[in-house]
Amino acid sequence: MILMRYLMCTLLIGSSLQTAMADELVFTLDAARSSLTLAGSTTVGDPVNNTFAYTAQGANSLITSYGGAITVDVSDLLNPLSITFLSSNVDANVNGNWLPSDDIVPTEPASAGDYGIRIDAILTNGKMRNVDFNIAAASTSVTGGSFAVSGQTFGFNSGIIDVYSTALTAGNSIDFTNAGTLAGTGLNVAAGTGTYSVSGGIATLTIPVAVTLPYTFGPTSEPTVEGSQTYTGTLVGVAAVPEPSSLALLSLTAGCIGFVRRRSPA
* 90 within a domain of the structure (yes/no): yes
**Is pLDDT at 92 greater than 70 in this prediction?**
yes
- The Cα 218–Cα 40 span in angstroms is 18
* 198 within a domain of the structure (yes/no): yes
pTM (predicted TM-score): 0.83
* 78 within a domain of the structure (yes/no): yes
* 43 within a domain of the structure (yes/no): yes
Span 65-76, pLDDT tens digits: 999 999 999 999
Count of domains for the chain: 1
* 173 within a domain of the structure (yes/no): yes
Angstrom distances, CA of residue 241 to CA of 23, 26, 175, 201: 10, 10, 38, 5
**Is pLDDT at 203 greater than 50 in this prediction?**
yes
**Range with lowest mean pLDDT among 34-43, 81-90, 180-189:** 180-189
Q: Which residues contact 231 (CB under 8 A, 6 or more apart)?
A: 36, 37, 38, 133, 154, 209, 210, 211, 213
Query: What per-residue confidence (pLDDT) applies to 17?
Result: 44
Contact 157, 174 (CB under 8 A): no
* 6 within a domain of the structure (yes/no): no
Contact 206, 198 (CB under 8 A): no
Which range of residues forms the domain containing residue 217? 24-244
* 249 within a domain of the structure (yes/no): no
* 259 within a domain of the structure (yes/no): no
